[in-house]
Amino acid sequence: MPDKTTRHASGSPPRSSKTEAALPVAGEKLQKVLARAGFGSRREMERWIEARRITVNGKAATLGDRVGDRDRISVDGRPLATGAAEEVRCILYHKPTGEICSRDDPEGRPTVFRRLPPLKPGRWISVGRLDFNTSGLLIFTTDGELANGLMHPSSQVEREYMVRVMGDVKPEMLQSMLEGVRLDDGVARFTDIQEGEGDGINRWYYVVLMEGRNREVRRLWESQGLTVSRLKRVRYGNVFIPSRVKQGQWQEMDEADIKSLYRLVDLPTKKIKRATARERDVMERQFGKRTGRGAARKGGR
């Protein structure tokens, strides 16, 4: 049987100054190779390995396997193409409320992935999630290593939200949320709170977090006896939602924004793959539909 672990004489895998490809330098963990190829996070790839969806050299892979550049990796019976992650794509999506961030839902609710352009090979990986009743910015990438870096708490990447709060918000409540509140899963805090518009019991605020725990924004406000009636993510790192991208629409990210994401997590930038002409046409038609209908109505008056 072929040896799954390939090492140099030093006992350590070689390193390259160039961006690593999907079929890796010798001796890398299998789940890391698959994540970088764009199939999902390392944790998700571990589940795929346990489910026997991955083979190495014709045999079912096991957790702990390491692979080299001569090993033949297959996912669901399909060979992993050399260079599948040499190029990266990133898109942003304006999520409406009423969509989930999972690929499938037993309840049949709509998923954000249904609106994204199809990929071959690989798959879109969501950088974090938004809950069913939250709208706003989602970033998708084909680079699992980039996605993991952006989501990991140690990276300290800012997430900014616009939140409408119902209740009598007092200065001491805001101070408490800035200093830190103990929730069920540990202490949480906002790093910044800015007051927005509104009056009476409904006011808008802009808040910033450095992590992405489940329902964290809502739970922080609820800890002060307040209710969040609307919640929208407006920024992730240095990336904002462009004004022309309406709810349910996606847009290819430009090179400058993609490079800024790699810098945020101290990773070397990979070669950026652009959308195909067909995908660009589909993307532009999203925006054109709205303009076209408006122009038609105006012209018919």
What is the residue-wise DSSP string for 241-299?
A: --TT--TT-EEEPPHHHHHHHHHHTT-PPPEEPPPPHHHHHHHHHHHHHHHHHHHHHHH
- Taking alpha carbons only, the member of 109, 160, 111, 136 closest to residue 230 is 136
Count of C-beta atoms within a 10 Å radius of residue 158: 15
Can 131 be counted among the known catalytic residues? yes
For residue 102, give the DSSP letter.
S
Q: Buried b / exposed e across 159-181, counting CB within 10 Å, b at 16+?
A: bbbbbbbebebeeebbeebeeeb
Distance CA 216, CA 227 (A): 13
**Cβ within 8 Å of residue 133, ≥6 positions away:** 97, 98, 231
The one catalytic residue in 3, 76, 105, 131 is 131
For helices 144-151 and 42-50, angle between their N-to-C axes, nearest 10 degrees: 120
**Token pair belonging to 241:** 């939602």
* Residues labelled as active-site residues: 131
